[in-house]
Structure 1
């Protein structure tokens, strides 16, 4: 099959998946017409059964980071990521077991629909509810930015060889050239971002919480099936896990650097060298072009960023890209202070290679820190907490804990196997490692002669992104409509007005997130960690103490939330000054999340204790 035919079959299968998403949104809207709007739109009338509850919790937790950022880290740092992600297997046990039963009961007793609702009901304080609302709005926006970019990257891989898409990209490039903010972005990225944004905004606004849950169920199945199929195809093409591991043992990390690219003769027109091109070096080595290069008419030499392959077996195997003209390339490595350069075996042992850290990717204290970060950080996410308000019985909760733990174990451990093996099939992806998932999917399906399957495999990371975006959009929308407008501005608002406002807010928030990433921020993965640890640092201890400690007060909740926020932001500001970039300051090698929950818990306790002492004295 030719390349166009291959792409079209993948596109058709992916289109079938998208049609299924929109069908579920339409079906959900028909169900909602028969029920009270706010409770149904934002919480699905609190009647989620086992599989709906389990898969919506799992799909929301497994965001685009799980299928884009996590594979990128596996590819870059190797087998040590199995240790890094280990505690994700107990996320359901910690999150559901710690908060599930009590939160669900309190939500039903108080009629709470949102997390600020339930916090306000527990502490009988409007101030606590408003602070919770503002914190959710602040941190959730960072999540949305990262997910929107991930969705766009997946669609770029899917559509890159479609003629209509290529023509549209060319026209869009001319249209946005020179525009403020968006002019510096790649036109293919902008086009895919627009398509993705439209899809997710429409079905979330149209369908509400039940549509989100139903699509999460479908997407949870797609993610699980996609990972298993990708595992079979990848291991089949590398010759099995044992052979892949032996090859990984012999690999050494590539070198970043720059080089001068010289044409054999001056061209009569502008010459473009695509990003990702393989270039033979003058010393006999091989390097990959890490950026798009354009040489103006008559120019014969330019400097560019390069990634040099250092493993002898890969240098021998990789052939230079056929550019249609002679090219000579030199290479100068950048000064590296990291771990793993020139060492064999670093991809199959701890701490794993890291070009920027001389201690490696994961030393023992960072590993301990992340063990607590994933288990308790995920428990403290409002997007997970709100699902604990929607299941319909403790029997469902118990079975869901076991089901999701097994699901996460299978998904995450298999991802480590897949993308460690992916290093062998796709060398040099460090130039854009966030695209390793979609690139590997298209590569293995084409090699196996089943290109149509690429569309379904790409639906897995796309499903992870959409399941997170829809949940985050709905949470932000509920914070504005329920917690601000209905509870504080217009308590007597009609169902019709609330419905229109919900649609409007969902659309506006989605559009704002899309506009923010038209010119994408540089540190999106860092922003995800920033938002995750920030939300958990602010909410976990106040909510936990509020559910288990009768003497916990509104003053304690406010102190805990603001204390966690202050500690979290303070450590990131210190990281900015120390590292010169957006990064956290790892005090005693621990993630800021650890310090934030300690400060939050201590302040919650002390402020509540002081209030109780004052009451006794009076």
Structure 2
């Protein structure tokens, strides 16, 4: 299959816009702080949409619709778990983390925050957390590159191996050039494009099948089990799906948006904007997958691409329901979702390598320009590693995301939450929690259990933090004093 001229022009215009934003951001990036956190200058709208777009990767337009297309409404529990988790993250983590990172020597990264929060002079936390970021983000970045390759493969008829490089090239370019500001502003454009696509496509699908009632009747004719909310996995599968919400508090690329907010006062407005955007996108995505079953039952001759790979259901519907110009815009939304998350992940990996390993251990006195250029080099290095991991055309986007999401959620989530609310937490407690969470996720995954690995990982990490902290000495007086000051600031500001 070859792409039409309108599709090529639409994609080219979109990609040119993203590179243009990268060049604009390049002119505003002077220091390493600018490159990593944009000088903490994001307002409510950019904070909200950037956090949402960096979270909702290619799985929103490919993995989730594909899961509903194959499994029906029982797969929706993932979305409900994410909505609950995202709201809790905005409500209870965003504000405290914004204040705490500023009070802990203006921490630029999550490992930086852990190091100063617990006065870790040996820098063990910095090293361990940087390694966790590199391991799980390599997998996470690979999921974005797989999604991009599938898109270019479907739209342009490219071989998978060639599509890998085209799908990743522009994202690498604007992240390399413009850093955090480029990533945040392109995220805002991409979030707008994503919500447009996820509202328009399900509306047209529903019109095509005769409305919600007719659509559900067609789904029932295909397979009544696809309207069963519990599904074949039983309650264990429901718990596992809802547990995706636990992962939010440990995702470095999302937490970085909170750290970069202009002030504590921007958080409540950003939460309202972000949650509205997220709810509309998730319900649109679920509708594409579920009512795609109905549409293809009525148009079986068109179902070939989706039968071969259910994760292409949004791509196929966009191409089959719309003229090529509109389809080009809608398919650009998939590229937007992929690029927004991949760029954030590349930047977080790059910052961990630069701030937490290179400056932390190799060149403590490195100048600002040296740090910025080393960080750019690390963007390229991580991207190449992710492309290597993604080289298997049988890779599933949702599977790769699930593993990385669990790794971060269990390794960092309990450490982040307890560090913000518990004064008695110690450095050794944080180390024990991080190590326990990461190991339990990796080992549990090998068992093949139906229970999502984030559940035992999160519980085990939380227990390890509490036990090890209580068995050791209380934190130093100055660490406890900083904690009290942060809590006082939050109370004074109504948080």
Query: What's the TM-score once normalised by structure 2's chain length?
Result: 0.90
Task: Using the TM superposition, name which of 462-471 and 195-204 deviates more.
Answer: 195-204
Moved over 6 A (4+): none
Of 92, 96, 106 in structure 2, the residue corresponding to residue 102 of structure 1 is 96
Aligned to 1:216: 187
1:89 deviates by 2.1
Of Structure 1 and Structure 2, which has the larger fraction of its residues in strand? Answer: 1
Of Structure 1 and Structure 2, which has the larger fraction of its residues in helix? Answer: 2
- TM alignment of 1:255-266, pairs within 5 A: none
Matched, 1:111 2:106: yes
- TM alignment of 1:11-22, pairs within 5 A: 11-22=8-19
Contact in 1 for aligned 2:319/2:327 (Cα 8 Å): yes
SS in structure 1 opposite 2:108? coil
Q: CA-to-partner distance for each residue in 1:357-406, whole Å, 9 max, x for gaps?
A: xxx14x223213322x2222122211111111011123311111122222
Q: CA-to-partner distance for each residue in 1:535-573, whole Å, 9 max, x for gaps?
A: 110111112111111111111001111111222222122
Contact in 2 for aligned 1:204/1:212 (Cα 8 Å): yes
Matched, 1:351 2:322: no
Structure 1 unaligned residues grouped into runs of 5+: 161-168, 170-187, 253-344, 353-359, 576-584
Q: Distance in 2 between matches of 1:416 and 1:613?
A: 48
1:96 deviates by 1.8
Of 283, 303, 311 in structure 2, the residue corresponding to residue 434 of structure 1 is 311
Of 355, 374, 377 in structure 2, the residue corresponding to residue 501 of structure 1 is 374
1:236 deviates by 1.9
SS in structure 2 opposite 1:218? helix
1:525 deviates by 3.0
Aligned to 1:44: 38
Contact in 2 for aligned 1:107/1:113 (Cα 8 Å): yes
Contact in 1 for aligned 2:85/2:245 (Cα 8 Å): yes
CA RMSD of aligned residues (A): 1.9
Of 337, 343, 349 in structure 2, the residue corresponding to residue 476 of structure 1 is 349
Q: Distance in 2 between matches of 1:503 and 1:595?
A: 36
1:614 deviates by 11
Aligned to 1:466: 339
SS in structure 1 opposite 2:272? helix
Q: CA-to-partner distance for each residue in 1:26-77, whole Å, 9 max, x for gaps?
A: 1101111xx4x11100101001101100001000111111111111101111
Aligned to 1:606: 467
1:505 deviates by 1.0
1:532 deviates by 0.6
Contact in 1 for aligned 2:146/2:395 (Cα 8 Å): no
Aligned to 1:594: 455
Q: CA-to-partner distance for each residue in 1:477-535, whole Å, 9 max, x for gaps?
A: 00111111112111111222212211211112112222332334645532321111111
Contact in 2 for aligned 1:24/1:215 (Cα 8 Å): yes
Of 10, 22, 26 in structure 2, the residue corresponding to residue 25 of structure 1 is 22
Query: What's the TM-score once normalised by structure 1's chain length?
Result: 0.73
Of 540, 543, 552 in structure 1, the residue corresponding to residue 413 of structure 2 is 540
Q: Structure 1 residues 18 and 192 mapped into 2: Cα distance closer, same or farther (>3 Å)?
A: same
Aligned to 1:122: 117
Contact in 2 for aligned 1:91/1:405 (Cα 8 Å): no
The structure that has the greater radius of gyration is 1
Aligned to 2:481: none
Contact in 2 for aligned 1:95/1:375 (Cα 8 Å): no
Q: CA-to-partner distance for each residue in 1:136-160, whole Å, 9 max, x for gaps?
A: 1111100011110100111122213
Q: How many residues align?
A: 466
